[in-house]
Structure formats: structure tokens, C-alpha cells
Amino acid sequence: MKSYNTLLAKATIFFMVGSILYPYSNLSIFWCAILIVTLYGIANVFHALTNKNKKWSPPFGIVVLLFFLILGIGNRSLKDPLNNKLHYTHHNYNIHHTYLFSIHEQLKPSQYQDKYIIQLHKQDSTKITGKVLLSIQKDSTQKPLKIGSWYYTRTPLKDLPSIKNPYQFDYGAYLKKKHIYGQFFIQKDELLEVNYTSKNFYTFAIRFRESVIRKLRNQPFTQEQLTVIQALLLGKRQDIDAHLSNQYANAGMMHILAVSGLHVGIILLLLRFVTRVISGRKLRWVRSGISISLLWCFAFITGLSPSVLRAVTMFSFLELGSCLGGKRRINDALVFSAFILLIIDPSLIYQVGFQLSYLAVIAILWIQPWLYNFYQPRYYIIKKIWGIITVSVAAQVGVLPLSILYFHQFPGLFLVSNSVVLPFLGIILSLGILVIGLSYFSLLPDNLAIAYGKIIDLLNGFIAWVASKEAFVIDHISLSFTYMILMYLLLASLIYVLKRYQYKRLLLFFSILSFSLVMHIYQKTEKETSHMTIFHKNKETLIGLYSSDSLVVYTNIIHKNFNTDNRIVDYQNALGLDTFHIEPIQDYYHFNQKKLLLIDSIGVYKIKKLHPDYILLRQSPDIHLERLINVYPHVTIIADGSNYRSDIIRWKATCHKRNIPFHSTYEKGYFILKE
């Protein structure tokens, strides 16, 4: 007997595929409805014939899967805000308007800006809908905007940013998958607050979480302790600094700094332990009902963040499956929870948290029991440690290829950090919930607060110690989407062989392995050719020269640490390089029989016997471009991000007038010269 419902699993997979295919299909909601009704009728006919033969026919299965495929397309079409005529993208927003909006969500701030997701309500007197990214210049004298507050602004709405540098994370595409298609850049004095607050359950939850955080700030916690407590227990990660975040990532423990499936799973285990006094077959539903209700109370305390809602929904279904009894019920409950979540929000399929959560739980359910049976400890403590080790390994196997695809990193000591931290995480969470409760009602003793702060310090200290073993952190791993799929197929086929040896399974494993090796050899022969890249960066000039598996970065700021510059790091990851070299900017480059002349703020360019093919203007040189073109009439002019925008506008007009190719990295992004 199979450990899961095959039809439910296939239906959910085809529903997911339908959601993914939606952007590439031209099916309207009307035609989706027609096809769904038609396929439903055909399925009923086949089902009636199937009942007579007492055996399901292949045509019935095909029709059912097509039904769920079209259902996935139709569901996403129905939930797509762009299909709403009131959406702001259907209105002219390239001119000045008065906008009325409310604050929906606070994002992690950048170095110079606070960021929010806002909900538009009006454009002038016209009702509109849709979410927008709001970036506000940081001001130490102003308080952050409150979730649910309403404001007016006359700042023009702009399009989302495009990619400016090679292999850069496409933030604009990421926002579009979250139904955000525009952005505001606003100074604080360009906002007019409205004496109104959104009245809904989400806003109430966020306001309650903020009140909890204000109470915690009155306790004797250090700033670092407070930021970890907020992330660990309340799901607020915005205040964690980059250094601490990198330490947790290098230790393979980043998942504990965001309230997710791990936290909810541990809390569910704690609730099961507390409610074990409610025993008996007839009372198991009461016990599950209490556990699920308290899980949703925890979700409310954390502000009903999307990651927590996903995790609580998933574990609520898992608890119901456990209550129904049997491993098959649990597996079916997991699949059904994914199906329900995608019906509610089909865009979840693109969210990294959703993907990692379900892959980790699937791997734990499928691999962990098999791993656990390899060794049968005699003592209780060793059994628990062995259980945690097998859970960690199973979860890591499940998320490994996807983690490498997204983060280009593998923390080699993840097993050490998880084996030490996870046994105590239940204590940290339960004690933390007690601290939050007592703090909220102003009953928290200082000694308990100080003691809990010391526990957080011990946790941070251990994470810092593990992260300091940099030799075990494998960075800059380049992995394509195709290779990720092959890695999953290879791992799954290997585990199938190890679980139960069969010749067919072994043949499948070696077939996938052989295909992977052929793909790897092909990729090596088709590796990136030598090229020179002029990056876009505000107020700086960056030039990358890649040749023979080495990268040299030329810059005008030679002492800067470029290991944290995302432009260079993303470039380095894509090329699969471990290191790169920093050199000062030169005035002239000769690459692949092409000559590049750089003209900086000094404005010197008349060099004898030099006939450049390209000229890079940087640091807003004080030159007369018409005279420069007269000297070099057959060049391509490039202007990078170190120039003033006003100069670039003037140069662009001059080049257009003289019919000279002009490339501004502000508008077109990076410029590349290849062999």
C-alpha cells in the first residue's frame, strides 16, 4: 500500500504546473471556466464507465490531471490583480497625481532608505487598487510609519528598477511576482497623514506585536539580544544587522532567525507534550483542537506574517492528519495543505520560504525514518540526539540543491550547529514565550530577563564560533536551474536504491548520473569567454576583466571591501570563481583588439596616435563633447554611474545630434565587451 494518495499528489503537482504556466498562456478567465466545466463533464463520463469496469482507465486520469492544470491557470488568473480594471497600472501614472494609500508591511531598510509595501486607494478622486513599493529617505528625527496608517502624497509613481549589472538579482521581477508593479521615492515632508487607520485583523495583529516589542524594549536586554528575540519569537528580522545575519548563514542556522516551519513544528511538539494529559481515543480531537487553536494564537502574536501563516496552516493540516491516524494521512494532509495555500495565494509557488518549507518537511517524512533505523541507541538522551541529527540531515538533503541555487553557499558545519542548538531550541522558545507574556503584563522579573538575555548571548556566541571556521563554508557555488533539477533527481534515485535495492532503480540512478556528467562536460566546453564589463554603480567606476578563469576588478576606490558588494559577489558567483583581484583604474585598456579610453574629471584625452573604439566618461569630466567627437568621430560613448545625471542628459542629446552611439549605464545598465 502506498504511503500517500497518488491522485491527490498528482492533482496538486498539475495545479502547481498550471499556476506556473499562467504567464505563458493566453487563456482568459472565461475560457478557463469553459474548459474546467467541459473537462469536469468528460471526467464524470469516464468515471461512470470506470465504475462498470471496477478499474480506473488512463483516459480518466489524463482528463482529471488536465482539469487540475486548467484549474491552476484559472485560479491564478482569478487572483491576478492586473485583471482588475481598478488596478493602478490601467491608469496613467507617469504624470503628477495625488495618491491616497495605507501602509501594509514594513520591509528591511537599506543603508539610506526605509522601505514599505503600501496599498493604493485613490488616484486624485478615482478609486484604484494595487500594491506599491515605498522608499523613504532615512531621517533620525522621524519615527517609522505605522502599519495601517493612511497618507496622501503628490510624488510621481515610477516603474520598478531594471537590472543594471550582470547576473544581478532581479529585484523588479521579484516584486512583480508579489503583485508589486510600481514604486514611490519620497521624503518624509512629502507625506500628509490622514486621521484614519485600517481596521482589519491583520493591522490589529501587527499593532499588537509592536506593543509587545515596546514592552520588551523596557526590559534589561542589549540591542543585539533584543533583535534576536524579535526575530526568533516574533518574526521581525528587519533590525538584524548584516554581520550577525552572515554569522548565522555561515553556521547553517539562518532558519532559526525567522519564525517558520521549524519554530511552529517545535511549538506543536511542546503543545502535544503539555496536552498529553488529555488522553483517550475519543478526546484526541479535543487535544488536536486545543493545539491548533494555540498555534493560531502564536501566529497572531507574530503579526500574522506570511511565513508564519504558511507554517501554521501546514502544521494544522499535519496535526489533523496525525489525528486521523497513519503515515498516509499525514502525507496526504501535507499535500492538501499545499493545495489549499496555493488556491488562496497562487504566487506562493515563487516564494523561497514556501519552497524550502515544503521540501524540508517532505524530506523529513520520507528520509528521516529510514536514516533513524540505521542506528538504534539504547539510552534516551542519545536517542534524542540521534533523532535530531537524522532530522537535520534529512531536511538539509531536501533543501540543499535549492539553497545552493538561491544562496550559492553550503555551510559545512550545519550538522554541528544544528545538533547543538536544536535540542535546546524548544527550551529557548518556551522560555521566550514566557518572557514575552510576563513582559507584556509588566510582570517580568529583571533576573529572569537578564538570564534569558545571557541564553541569547550563549546562542550568538556559539553561532559566531561555528561561523568563524571559514574553511568549512563553501562559497560562490554556481548552479543553474537545470543542474538543480538534476541534483534532486540524482539524490532521489540514490535514496531509492539505498532504501531497497532493485536493478531498475540502480539503472535509473546511473542513467541520471551519466546524463549529469555529460551536461557537466558540455558546460565546461561552453564556459564563459573572456570579456570586459563596465558596471553601473552610483558615484563609482567599476570595471571587471574576466579571462582564463580569473577576475580583476578595477576601481577608483582601491581600499574598499568588495567582498560584500553584491554587484561583484553576484558576478563572482555566476562565474564560479573563489577569488578576484582589485586593481586601480587605468586611463586606457586594450582588449580583444578594441581600445577603451577613460576620461575622468581632469578631462585629458588628446593622446597622440591613440584611436579608441570606446570612450568611458566618468566623474563628470569638464569637456566639450562636440570637440571630443571631432577628435574621435568613430567612437562609442559610454557614461557610467559616477557622472551627474544632468551631464548624461546633455551628452546623450549631443551624441544623438551627431549620430554617435551612446550608452548610459543609468538607462541601459552595464556595458560588456566580448571576444
Number of domains forming the structure of the chain: 4
Q: Which three cell numbers stand for residue 353?
A: 520560504
Q: Is residue 253 domain-resident?
A: no
Same domain, 75 and 108: no
- 594-599 and 614-617: which strand pairing? parallel
Residue 189 within a domain: yes
Cell numbers for 47: 468515471
CA distance 100 to 329: 48
Out of 44, 79, 114, a domain closes at 79
Residues whose CB falls within 8 Å of the CB of residue 521, separated by 6 or more in sequence, listed in order = none
CATH classification of the domain holding 103? 2.40.50
In a domain, 383, yes or no: no
What per-residue confidence (pLDDT) applies to 4?
60
Per the listing, cell 499545499 goes with 338
φ and ψ at residue 619, rounded to 5 degrees: 60, 35
Domain-located, residue 434? no
pLDDT of res. 533: 93
**Residue 268 forms part of a structural domain:** no
**Helices and strands (DSSP H and E) totals, the chain:** 21, 20
Q: Which residues of 590-609 are buried (b: 16+ CB within 10 A; e: fewer)?
A: ebeeeebbbbbeeeebeeee
Domain contains 19:
yes
Same domain for 139 and 71, yes or no, is: no
pLDDT per residue over 390-441, tens digit each?
Answer: 888 888 888 889 988 888 888 888 888 888 888 888 889 999 999 999 999 9
641, 668 in Cβ contact below 8 A? no
Q: Specify whether 554 is located in the same domain as 666.
A: yes
Compute how many other C-beta atoms are within 10 angstroms of the C-beta atom of residue 246: 14
Final residue in a domain of this structure, among 79, 96, 129: 79
Q: Are residues 97 and 42 in the same domain?
A: no
Residues of the chain with pLDDT under 70: 1-5, 50-56, 326-328, 526-528, 605-608
**Residue 439 in domain:** no
Tell me how far apart the alpha carbons of residues 221 and 198 are, in angstroms, rounded to a whole number. 32
Clarify whether residues 132 and 173 are in a common domain.
yes
C-alpha cell at 388: 535530531
Res 573: pLDDT: 84
Give the whole-angstrom CA distance, residue 336 versus residue 330. Answer: 10
Give the integer Cα–Cα distance in Å for 618 and 264: 52
> Considering 494, 525, 556, which residue would you say is the last residue of a domain?
525
Residues 50 and 98 in one domain: no
| H helix or E strand, kind and range, residue 660 | none
Do residue 598 and residue 615 come from a single domain? yes
CA–CA distance from 135 to each of 157, 168, 186, 195 (Å)? 11, 20, 6, 22
Point out which residues pair with 145 in neighbouring strands: none
Tell me: do 102 and 71 sit in the same domain.
Answer: no
Both 181 and 106 in one domain: the answer is yes
Strand, helix or coil at 316?
Answer: helix
Contact 236, 287 (CB under 8 A): no
In a shared domain, residues 535 and 670: yes
* 71 shares a domain with 45: yes
Same structural domain for residues 35 and 113? no
Give residue 314's pLDDT: 87
The whole domain housing 627 covers 531-674
The C-alpha cell of 300 is what? 497572531
Per the DSSP assignment, residues forming a β-bridge with 555 are 542, 584
In a domain, 130, yes or no: yes
Bridge partners for 132 per DSSP: 118
